[in-house]
Amino acid sequence: MAVGKISEGSVYYDKPSKINNFLSRKRMKPIKVGLLGLGTVGYGAFRVLARNQEEIQRRAGRCIDVTKVAVRNVERAGKLVDGVCEVTDNPLNVVMDPEIDIVVETIGGDDPTLELVLKAIDNGKHVVTANKALLAVHGNEIFTAARKANVMVAFEAAVAGGIPIIKALREGLTANRIQWIAGIINGTTNFILSEMREKGLDFDVALQDAQRLGYAEADPTFDIEGVDAAHKATIMSAIAFGVPVQFNKAYVEGISKLSSIDIKYAEELGYRIKLLGITRRTDIGIELRVHPTLILAKRLIANVEGVMNAVLVHGDAVGATMYYGKGAGAEPTASAVIADIVDITRLHTADQENRVPYLAFQHDALSSMPVLPIEQIRTSYYLRLRVADQTGVLAEITRILANQNISIDALLQKESREGEPQTDIIILTHETQEKFINSAISCIEALDTVFSQVTRIRMETLS
Ligand code: HSE
């Protein structure tokens, strides 16, 4: 089989005979892959593997064969795979198959996925998964089982879809003491926020648009309430700092309560609001949080719009690095899944000690650094208050902030409408601890001259 061309434009390709010689020298037993699920991700991987077979084989050094897929709808899957591999409706036929080397899990959720993944591991299969929820919640159990069974568990597709952020964190940045990560890691919410800002839409209308376009699910809760982003931030945090996965300690706040007026005021002050997954190393522990965040509009990451994802990683040696791309979709996710399959193919004969550790750090070198409760994080804040437009109101509010040792960075008072004795005040603070801002907000809300609750949005300088 001829592979490549002698030359094409200015690009030089190796002679076909040379490549064929290389492949025949490497004529090793194919790696056999079993797929659990043939939905968007599973079928995407199947298709890209078939389409780029030769290119992938030249990289992996051996053939990668999908030999079996387990699906609920055998008839539909039969048509999709068109006789290329066996189709079964029993996932145990994949995870127990002695011929299969790698099980690729693309079902999602944790029931029955956790059981299937653990069974596959018990049976000596390497596992590739795109399942962030599974890893963020059950990762420690899965990695312990995998270590015992001497198999690899790879999960590039679990965070930011096609962006190779796991590879970057685990390998490319391995020299660094990573200081913080901040990412737009949920495309659905980023699309909604872009729509709200660009078209001045309210959240509910933008969500309906996202659903109509197929970006948001019929039940969008996991995306809009920040849970999906928190799963991904949890995984990145573990890899960046060498701690176990601790989803239950993450602070999670979504965008469903975000008002378009705050997006507008933020813009007037030179900021954009993004749903960020943030994890940061501090002297007293790790911050792990997902929430709407004001970022200076001139920052590159503030200009990531629509369904795109981007992750900023700050390491002590390299400084800030940024990774951008599609965080979802059949082929971007397949790109990550197949990268994992190739990694496993290259390394599966290596000793455990010579493989890349699951969480980037050796298992006996994981740290017990605590994840901090949200009251202990330090950041700056945007506050919006509806107040009586009368003498002394601002003075009272600034006194409360001063009592909590909170310094004001900027202040904007909107002109009150004629005949209306109320107005909006927007305050940007310097960095403080969350517990101090909470105390200040309680005191401010108790004032007779302050109407309704104070809106509070965290801000990040990302510098
Ligand atoms: N639902 C996710 C998103 C993609 O909107 O980015 C899968 O994690």
Instruction: Tell me the torsion sign for CA atoms 394, 396, 397, 398.
Output: positive
- Whether residue 343 is predicted with pLDDT greater than 50 in this model: the reply is yes
CA of residue 215 to ligand 1 center, whole Å: 8
Confidence of residue 421 (pLDDT cuts 50, 70, 90): confident
Is 223's C-beta closer than 6 angstroms to any atom of ligand 1? yes
Helix 132-149, helix 113-122: angle, nearest 10: 20
Per-residue pLDDT, 3: 37
Is 328's C-beta closer than 6 angstroms to any atom of ligand 1? yes
Atom of ligand 1 nearest to the CA of 185: 6
Residue among 131, 155, 228, 305 to mutate when testing ligand 1 (max atoms within 8 A of CB): 228
Residue 296 · residue 282 · CB < 8 Å: no
Q: To the nearest whole percent, how much of the chain has pLDDT over 90?
A: 89
Is 187's C-beta closer than 6 angstroms to any atom of ligand 1? yes
Question: pLDDT by residue (tens digit) across 314-339?
Answer: 999 999 999 999 999 999 999 999 99
∠ CA 162-33-1, nearest 5°, is: 90
Is 186's C-beta closer than 6 angstroms to any atom of ligand 1? yes
Is 327's C-beta closer than 6 angstroms to any atom of ligand 1? yes
Per-residue pLDDT, 10: 41
Is 220's C-beta closer than 6 angstroms to any atom of ligand 1? no
Give the pTM.
Answer: 0.93
Q: How many CA atoms lie within 13 A of 304 on its CB side?
A: 28
Among the options 119, 125, 232, 249, which is catalytic? Answer: 232
Confidence of residue 16 (pLDDT cuts 50, 70, 90): low
Atom of ligand 1 nearest to the CA of 217: 1
Confidence of residue 18 (pLDDT cuts 50, 70, 90): low
Per-residue pLDDT, 422: 93
Q: Which CATH class is domain 165-326?
A: alpha beta
Question: pLDDT by residue (tens digit) across 238-263?
Answer: 999 999 999 999 999 999 999 999 99
Per-residue pLDDT, 6: 37
Distance CA 115, CA 299 (A): 43
Per-residue pLDDT, 226: 98
Atom of ligand 1 nearest to the CA of 328: 4
Distance CA 197, CA 264 (A): 7
Q: How many CA atoms lie within 13 A of 287 on its CB side?
A: 25
Question: pLDDT by residue (tens digit) across 79-123?
Answer: 999 999 999 999 999 999 999 999 999 999 999 999 999 999 999
Tokens linked to 345: 């193919």
Catalytic-residue membership of 264: no
CA of residue 59 to ligand 1 center, whole Å: 29
Question: pLDDT by residue (tens digit) across 155-193?
Answer: 999 999 999 999 999 999 999 999 999 999 999 999 999
- Whether residue 5 is predicted with pLDDT greater than 80 in this model: the reply is no
Least confident of 10-14, 230-234, 285-289, 430-434: 10-14
- Each domain of the chain, given as residue ranges in start order, spans 6-164+332-365, 165-326, 379-460
Question: 165-326 and 379-460 share one CATH topology?
Answer: no
Atom of ligand 1 nearest to the CA of 186: 6
Per-residue pLDDT, 223: 97
- Whether residue 21 is predicted with pLDDT greater than 80 in this model: the reply is no
Average pLDDT score, the chain: 94
- Whether residue 11 is predicted with pLDDT greater than 50 in this model: the reply is no
Residue 348 · residue 28 · CB < 8 Å: no
CA of residue 207 to ligand 1 center, whole Å: 14
Residue 269 · residue 412 · CB < 8 Å: yes
Architecture of domain 6-164+332-365: 3-Layer(aba) Sandwich (3.40)
Confidence of residue 367 (pLDDT cuts 50, 70, 90): very high
Confidence of residue 28 (pLDDT cuts 50, 70, 90): confident
Per-residue pLDDT, 353: 86
Is 156's C-beta closer than 6 angstroms to any atom of ligand 1? no
CA of residue 379 to ligand 1 center, whole Å: 27
Per-residue pLDDT, 4: 36
Per-residue pLDDT, 47: 97
> Is domain 379-460 in CATH 3.40.50.720, yes or no?
no
Per-residue pLDDT, 416: 78
Closest CA to ligand 1's atom 4: 328
Q: Read off the pLDDT of each residue in 224-233 and give the average, rounded to a whole number.
A: 98
Per-residue pLDDT, 292: 98
- Whether residue 24 is predicted with pLDDT greater than 80 in this model: the reply is no
Per-residue pLDDT, 252: 98
Residue among 134, 188, 290 to mutate when testing ligand 1 (max atoms within 8 A of CB): 188
Number of Cβ within a 10 Å radius of residue 104: 31
Which of these, 19, 125, 20, 110, lies nearest to 67 by C-alpha position? 125
Q: Give the chain's radius of gyration (CA, Å).
A: 25
Per-residue pLDDT, 312: 98
CA of residue 222 to ligand 1 center, whole Å: 9
Alpha-carbon distances of 78 from 68, 222, 337, 388, rounded to whole Å: 11, 32, 22, 68
Q: To the nearest whole percent, how much of the chain has pLDDT over 70?
A: 94
Atom of ligand 1 nearest to the CA of 222: 1
Atom of ligand 1 nearest to the CA of 309: 6
Residue among 134, 223, 234, 255 to mutate when testing ligand 1 (max atoms within 8 A of CB): 223
Is 225's C-beta closer than 6 angstroms to any atom of ligand 1? no
Is 188's C-beta closer than 6 angstroms to any atom of ligand 1? yes
Which of these, 395, 463, 409, 414, lies nearest to 437 by C-alpha position? 409
CA of residue 208 to ligand 1 center, whole Å: 16
Q: Read off the pLDDT of each residue in 386-396 and give the average, rounded to a whole number.
A: 94
